[in-house]
Copies of this chain bind each other. A is one copy, B any other.
Amino acid sequence: MPGLPTSAEAFVTLVTNSEYGLGAAVLGYRLRAVGTTRATVVMVTESVPETTRKMLSKTWDTVLDVTQLDSNDSDRLAMLKRPELGITFSKLNVWKLTQYKKVVFVDADTMPLSNIDDLFQYEELSACRDAGWPDCFNTGLFVLTPSLETYKALIRRACDDGSFDGGDQGLLNAHFSTWSHGDIRKHIPFSYNVNPNASYTYLPAYKHFADQVKMVHFLGAVKPWHYQYANGRVQGQNLTEHTLKFLEQWHKVA
């Protein structure tokens, strides 16, 4: 692949507690299993216990402390007015990792099925369409260029306008609002961030495109670590066959 030396590029995720730490441990394992050639960085906040950090260091190249609230005083003050955006602010820390020229951010509740290093061909801000409101991108996976300027602009926007969904997805879609009908090269195929959903058009399409799926995203309130797992089997109701299969694949690693 032409472009940057791969050492200047990294996969990055975020962990603020031990539950998401489990998710990140699986993700880190899978990234190595599919043979990534890029650096892997897990950002952890002060609230993450030492045992989790230790576990993460086994599957991630770098376990990096980030402040849940920025240390810059005026930022901190403004942020404190919107405590509900705490985790969003932590995610924005990825723009401060200027030691990397390009980053693929991935949620801790994702699981790559095959190598996804070709994502580094994309430019900021590239992402997949959201199943739900498909003119928004889903922020479980996005390609960005770290920059303190962008970081500050995002913080400013968050403090001024908040986020229309109370999380990072609303904020980032408001900021990168030309994504929807701008440059189609910034639309990563949905197969890189497949979020199983209940829409009745999803299932036949999933079956048709199944062999192209490169990453699964367990988005929503119920995460893989919430399911009971015993003897290679996940206990769960109203799950499609392939969701069950992915959950079991996840648990085999965890």
Contacts and interface: CB of A to CB of B under 8 A. Distances in A.
Interface of A: 128-136, 138, 164-166, 169-170, 180-184, 187, 189-191, 195, 197-202, 204-209, 219-221
A25 B217 CA distance: 41
17 contacts: A129-B135, A130-B201, A131-B199, A133-B199, A134-B134, A135-B189, A135-B209, A138-B201, A164-B205, A165-B205, A180-B189, A183-B184, A197-B198, A198-B198, A198-B199, A199-B199, A200-B221
Nearest to A167: B204
B200 A164 contact: no
A209 B136 CA distance: 11
B165 A201 contact: yes
A133 B209 contact: yes
Contact of A134 (B181, B184, B190, B207): B190
Nearest to A201: B132
A160 B47 CA distance: 59
Contacts of A198: 197-199
Given A187-B181, A199-B198, A164 B204 contact: yes
Given A165-B205, A199-B199, 10 more contacts: A134-B190, A135-B190, A135-B209, A164-B205, A169-B201, A181-B184, A181-B187, A198-B199, A200-B220, A201-B219
